[in-house]
A and B are shown apart, each in its own frame.
Chain A
Amino acid sequence: QKEVEQDPGPLSVPEGAIVSLNCTYSNSAFQYFMWYRQYSRKGPELLMYTYSSGNKEDGRFTAQVDKSSKYISLFIRDSQPSDSATYLCAMSAQGAQKLVFGQGTRLTINP
């Protein structure tokens, strides 16, 4: 079993829809939770990060962490075609030297 599981999709939704992307994990030591966005033919870029449990909002994006369920989510409101990309969750433990990535979900927003 992988430490981090993410549905690879692909996921296709109409413009303006609310998108929910999710990851589950098995390592209870994970404290830092990140979402990276990767456009086609580019490297991943950090989109949001959250420490421990709770929510974090940045514009149209909201990251949620539920440590009791070992489940994290990224919500995109009013989705735009420019949001079309692969979204990767990533996690690390306190003091960890490495990130553990999910498989990535390929998202397409249709105009």
Chain B
Amino acid sequence: DTAVSQTPKYLVTQMGNDKSIKCEQNLGHDTMYWYKQDSKKFLKIMFSYNNKELIINETVPNRFSPKSPDKAHLNLHINSLELGDSAVYFCASSQANNWGAADYGYTFGSGTRLTVV
């Protein structure tokens, strides 16, 4: 039983294309996140969703848009892909406390390696 699953695992696409990465969690967590890990392993938070509402929107290009059809899913849609978007994208989930703080450990998916050619 995979707790946080994301698909696809690998994605190779041409510049200018639009693509989506899907994420699902079966942990009943309230908050889901997207992170980007670059080639130097730097891990940067992109978005988080709490109860279907975007609560964090870090300074990422508006070509990236998170979409959450329900509490268990947070998909990442990317328009007009660029070479610099090549990275590994991780989905994660967490049970935030009453004040929304990250007071519990995150559960991460296994990542989607996106390569833009």
Query: Are A and B interaction partners?
Result: no
Interface set of B (CB-CB < 8 Å, partner A): none
